Amino acid sequence: MISGALKNKRAFAALFLLALFLFCAIFACTAEGGGEMAGMAADPTPEPPTPQPILVSLGDPVPADTAVPAPTLPPTPTPEPTPTPVPTLDPNGKYIALTFDDGPNGKAGYTKDLLAVLRKYEVKVTFFVVGYKLETERNMEALREAAADGHEIGNHTYDHANLSKYSDEGIRKQMARTNDAIEKIIGYRPTLFRPPYGESNQTVRAFAKSNGMAVIMWDLSTHDWYHEDAGKTFAAVKKDAHPGSIILMHDSVKSSAEAVEKIIQWLHGEGYTIITVGELLRLRHGEIKPGTQYRHGVPAG
C-alpha cells in the first residue's frame, strides 16, 4: 500500500511538473505576439513571396503588370547574295589595247617589272610570246605570272620567224610548236596569233583558222625596239592613240616597261579604258573569227 501510494505521489508530481512546463512554454510563446512557431502553427502554408518583376528590378521603366508583350517581329528575310557585277563594256566607249611582243623577258626581269605596273593600275594587256623563249624556267615563270594575272597570251611564232621566208610546212611548224609550248605552261592554247614583222599570208591565215586563232596586227607602232627611249614611246602613244587602237610595244625592251606607267596614266586621263585585244574585238564584232586578220577594233578589210 505504502509503496503504491508513494508511486502515485511521484507520478502525480511528475505529471504536474510536466504540465507546468508545457503551460509556461505555451504562455511564453503566445506572449511574444506570435512568434515563428505560433505563426507557423496558425498558418502552416504561408503565401509564397510575391516574385519581383525582373523588368522592374532591372530598372525597366515599364512596370511588369503593364508591360505589353514584345511584338512579334516579321521573320528577317534571308538576304539574297549580291551577284558580282559583270563588267559591261559600252560599245560606244573609249577603248584601247596595249600589246607586248617578243617576251617573256625573265632574265632581265622586264616582263615582271611590267606586270607589277599593270597590277598597280589593274590593267589587262595582251602578250605575244616567242616559243623558244619558253625553254628557260625564268621565262616560263614570267609567262605563268602574266596568265595568272589575267593577261591575254598570244602566239608570236617559235623562232620569231619572218614567215614570208618559210615554206607552208615551216609556217605551220612555227605556229604549232608555239601553241604547244604555251599550253604546256599555262594549260590552254592561245586564240590569237601575231606574225613577226607583220608578215602574214594565206598559209598563216589558213593555219590560224583551222586552229581557232585570229591574226592580230596593230595600227599604232611605238617603234620602241628601234629607239629604246621611254620618252619617245610615250610620245608615239600620245600622238596617235584613238579609240579602238591596237598599240604595239615590246616587253623585251627595257624602256617600254619604264614608259608604260606614264602611258597608262595618260590614257586614263584621256578617258580611255585599256582592255585586251580579245575584249576589244569581241566588243566591236561580237565574236572573233578564226583566220580573220585584224589591225584595229574594226576588220582590216
Query: Which residues are known catalytic residues?
Result: 101, 250
Rule CB under 5 A: choose which of 97, 98, 99, 102 binds Zn ion: 102
Residues 124-163 touching Zn ion, rule: CB under 5 A, are: none
Distance CA 179, CA 194 (A): 12
Residue 297 sits in the site that holds Zn ion (CB under 5 A): no
- Of 168-176, 193-201, 212-220, 263-271, the window that binds Zn ion (rule: CB under 5 A) is 193-201
- Of 70-78, 93-101, 177-185, 279-287, the window that binds Zn ion (rule: CB under 5 A) is 93-101
Least CB distance from residue 194 to Zn ion, whole Å?
Answer: 7
Binding-residue total with Zn ion (CB under 5 A): 3
Least CB distance from residue 253 to Zn ion, whole Å?
Answer: 11
Cell digits of residue 60: 525597366
Pairing of strands 273-274, 95-103: parallel
Cell digits of residue 140: 616560263
Omega before residue 81 within 30° of 0, cis: no
Residue 224 sits in the site that holds Zn ion (CB under 5 A): no
Residue 101 sits in the site that holds Zn ion (CB under 5 A): yes
Cβ proximity to Zn ion, 101 vs 229, nearer residue: 101
Distance CA 225, CA 160 (A): 14
Question: Sign of the CA dihedral 131, 141, 110, 97?
Answer: positive
Cβ proximity to Zn ion, 196 vs 291, nearer residue: 196
With CB atoms as reference, the residue minimizing the distance to Zn ion is 101
Cβ proximity to Zn ion, 195 vs 272, nearer residue: 195
Cβ proximity to Zn ion, 161 vs 259, nearer residue: 161
Identify the three-state secondary structure at position 193: strand
Least CB distance from residue 266 to Zn ion, whole Å?
Answer: 24
User: For 238, left (φ over 0), alpha (ψ -120 to 50), or beta?
Assistant: alpha
Residue 103 sits in the site that holds Zn ion (CB under 5 A): no
Residue 251 sits in the site that holds Zn ion (CB under 5 A): no
Give the Å distances, CA to CA, from 147 to 79, 138, 150, 207, 273: 35, 14, 5, 24, 20
Q: In which residue are the cell numbers 561580237 written?
A: 286
CA 20 to mean position of chain CA atoms: 97
Residue 196 sits in the site that holds Zn ion (CB under 5 A): yes
- Of 10-18, 31-39, 67-75, 96-104, the window that binds Zn ion (rule: CB under 5 A) is 96-104
What residues contact 170, with CB distance under 8 A and at least 6 apart? 161, 163
- Of 19-27, 53-61, 189-197, 286-294, the window that binds Zn ion (rule: CB under 5 A) is 189-197
Distance CA 277, CA 193 (A): 11
Cβ proximity to Zn ion, 101 vs 152, nearer residue: 101
Question: Which positions lie near Zn ion, rule CB under 5 A?
Answer: 101-102, 196
